[in-house]
């Protein structure tokens, strides 16, 4: 199994589906066989337990009680979150 850093890099390299949400993107990557089901489960748990602070942006605050962390069209915040967590896992 690949590391969280490597899995986040796969997400970053496949930005075409990033507007569907981080967990959904991980599911799509699994469906497309870019990551295994085990990697998907690990990645989904990582995303869940590293949810952005509701104070990190207005969008995160608005979506604090939602399954989405940001509005579906807010791709830049998702990319920044992934890049931040790649660095944290380096």
3-class secondary structure per residue, the chain: CCCHHHHHHHHHHCHHHHHHCHHHHHHHHHHCCCCCHHHHHHHHHHHHHCCCCCCCCHHHHHCCCCCCCCCCCCHHHHHHHHHHHHHHCC
pTM above threshold 0.95: no
Q: Tell me what pLDDT residue 55 has.
A: 46
Q: Tell me what pLDDT residue 61 has.
A: 57
CB-facing half-sphere around the CA of 9: CA atoms within 13 A: 10
Domain carrying residue 10: 4-88
What's the domain count of the chain?
1
pLDDT of 90 over the 70 cut:
yes
Q: Tell me what pLDDT residue 21 has.
A: 82
Model pLDDT for residues 4-58, shown as the tens digit of each residue: 999 999 999 998 766 678 888 999 999 999 999 999 999 999 998 887 765 455 6
Closest CA to 70 of 83, 89, 53: 53
Model pLDDT for residues 53-81, shown as the tens digit of each residue: 654 556 555 555 566 666 777 788 888 89
């Amino acid at each position: 199994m690949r590391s969280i850093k490597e899995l986040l890099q796969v997400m970053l390299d496949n930005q075409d589906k990033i507007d569907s949400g981080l967990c959904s993107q991980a599911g799509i990557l699994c469906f497309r066989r870019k990551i295994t089901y085990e990697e998907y489960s690990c990645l989904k748990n990582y995303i869940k337990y590293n949810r952005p602070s509701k104070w990190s942006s207005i969008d995160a605050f608005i979506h604090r009680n939602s399954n989405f962390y940001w509005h579906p069209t807010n791709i830049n915040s998702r990319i920044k979150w992934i890049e931040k967590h790649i660095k944290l896992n380096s």
